[in-house]
Amino acid sequence: MPTIRDRRSFTRDLPPLADADADAIERFLDAAWAERGLAQATLSAYRSDLQALARQRPGLLGLERDALFECLAQRARQGYSPRSTARLLSCLHAFYAHAVRVGLRKEDPGALLQPPTLPRLLPKALSEAQVAALLAAPDLASATGVRDRAMLELMYACGLRVSELVGLPGTAVNLRQGVLRVTGKGGRERLVPLGEESRHWLERYLREARPVLLAGVRTPGAVTAMFVNADGGVPSRQAFWAWVKRYAALAGIDPGKISPHGLRHSFATHLLNHGADLRALQLLLGHSSLSTTQIYTLVARDRLRNLHAQHHPRA
C-alpha cells in the first residue's frame, strides 16, 4: 500500500488546475453556501476534493460514470480510508446535482455509485471522574491557565464543538440570564444554558485573565473574540486540541481515550446517564436530525443498566 508520502508525491506531480474546472468548482461552492448554508469547514473539504479530482481528471463537468468509478477504485488502491471516499462521493453528488439544476449537464454521472460501507464509530466519552480531573488540570496562577479552565468548563457545560468554542464572539454570552448563543453548522443558532460552574469560570476569565492577555495589544477594544491569545489572536482548533492533550496527560488520562470533541461527547453521555430526554439533547447539541443524537444511546450504558435494574421484573 502506498505511504502518505507516496500519495502526496502523486498529487504534487499532477498538472495544474484548468481554469474551466476552477470556475465550475467555485460556482458550485458559492451556490452550496448560499442555498444550503454549508459550514466553511465543509466547503473547504469539498474544494480540496474537487480540485484533487480535477487535477487527475480534467474537465469535471464532462466526466462520465466510468471515469468516476475508476477514480474511486484508484483511491482505494492508494490506501484512502472508506470515510474519505464516502465524503468525496457525497461531494460529487452535490456537485453534479447542482450542474444538472443549472443546466450544465443532463444527468448526474455519479447517481448510481454506491458509497463504501463505513464502520460505526462510537463517540469516546470520559468518565465523570476523568472530566473532573481534566477540568482541574490548568494552572490557575497564569492568565492562560484561567482561560483554558474557562474554555474546558464551557465546552463540557454546553456541549460545544471545538470550532464553536474557539469561534465564540464576546457578544455570545448573557451572564445575567446564564445562556450562551451558539452558531453551529450551517449557521444554525441555538441557546444553551451555562450552568453555575461554567458561568463562574467564564466570569473569572473575563474579569481577571482576558485583560491580562490583551495588555500588550495596541487596541484591545477592537478584539471581539471571547477567547484570545496574548497577541490578541484567536486560538485555533489545533492549538486547543494540543492543550487538551497536554491537560489530559497531566490528569493521568490515556490520550487514546480522548478526542477533539471528547468533552462534547462526555457532555451528551453524562446527560443521558442522568436521565436527559433525547430530544432535549438534540437541541442542546445543535443536531439537525435526531438520528445523529441517537448514537449516544449506545454509549450511555450506565443509564441503560440502571433503567433495566429499576424497571425489569427479573433484574
* Residue 288 falls inside a structural domain: yes
Residue of 55, 185, 204, 237 with catalytic role: 185
Quick check: 1 pLDDT over 50? no
The answer to whether residues 264 and 295 touch, using CB atoms and an 8 Å cutoff, is: no
CATH number for position 169: 1.10.443.10
Quick check: 199 pLDDT over 80? yes
d(CA 217, CA 64): 55
For 64, 203, 236, 264, the CA distances from 166, given in Å and listed in that order, are 42, 17, 7, 14
Average pLDDT over every residue of 21-48: 87
Average pLDDT over every residue of 125-138: 92
* Residue 214 falls inside a structural domain: yes
pLDDT confidence of residue 116 = 65
Q: Which residue is it, cell 465524503?
A: 87
Using CB atoms within 10 Å of the CB of residue 117, give its burial: 0 to 12 exposed, 13 to 18 middle, 19+ buried: exposed
More confident residue, 5 or 299: 299
User: Domain check: are 95 and 138 in the same one?
Assistant: no
- Is 264 noted as a catalytic residue in this protein? yes
- Is 245 noted as a catalytic residue in this protein? no
Quick check: 7 pLDDT over 50? no
* Residue 119 falls inside a structural domain: no
d(CA 205, CA 144): 9
* Residue 117 falls inside a structural domain: no
**What residues make up the domain containing 287?**
128-311
- Is 296 noted as a catalytic residue in this protein? yes
Question: For the segment 44-78, what is each residue's pLDDT rounded down to a tens digit?
Answer: 889 999 998 899 889 989 999 888 888 888 887 88
* Residue 107 falls inside a structural domain: no
- Is 287 noted as a catalytic residue in this protein? yes
Average pLDDT over every residue of 267-272: 86
User: Domain check: are 31 and 151 in the same one?
Assistant: no
* Residue 113 falls inside a structural domain: no
d(CA 107, CA 68): 14
For 73, 216, 295, the CA distances from 66, given in Å and listed in that order, are 10, 59, 36
pLDDT confidence of residue 298 = 66
Quick check: 21 pLDDT over 80? yes
Residue that finishes a domain, picked among 101, 117, 149: 101
Quick check: 39 pLDDT over 80? no
* Residue 116 falls inside a structural domain: no
**Chain center to CA of 164:** 8
Number of domains in the chain: 2
Beta carbons within 10 angstroms of residue 175's beta carbon:
12
User: Domain check: are 154 and 252 in the same one?
Assistant: yes
What percent of the chain is modeled with pLDDT above 70?
88
Q: Work out the pLDDT band at 2, boundaries 50, 70, 90.
A: very low
User: Domain check: are 286 and 173 in the same one?
Assistant: yes
pLDDT confidence of residue 308 = 66
Residue of 75, 247, 296, 303 with catalytic role: 296
pLDDT confidence of residue 147 = 97
User: Domain check: are 176 and 62 in the same one?
Assistant: no
User: Mean of the per-residue pLDDT values for the chain?
Assistant: 84
User: Domain check: are 134 and 244 in the same one?
Assistant: yes
Beta carbons within 10 angstroms of residue 151's beta carbon:
27
Residue of 147, 199, 265, 287 with catalytic role: 287
Edge-to-edge strand order for the sheet containing 173-174? 173-174, 179-183, 189-193
Residue that finishes a domain, picked among 82, 101, 120: 101
Can you give the pTM of this predicted structure? Answer: 0.65
d(CA 18, CA 20): 5
Question: For the segment 132-151, what is each residue's pLDDT rounded down to a tens digit?
Answer: 999 999 999 999 999 999 99
CATH number for position 40: 1.10.150.130
Residue of 261, 265, 270, 303 with catalytic role: 261
* Residue 118 falls inside a structural domain: no
d(CA 211, CA 42): 34
Residue of 87, 161, 199, 265 with catalytic role: 161
- Is 185 noted as a catalytic residue in this protein? yes
User: Domain check: are 51 and 136 in the same one?
Assistant: no
d(CA 271, CA 297): 11
User: Domain check: are 97 and 132 in the same one?
Assistant: no
Amino acid, res. 144: T
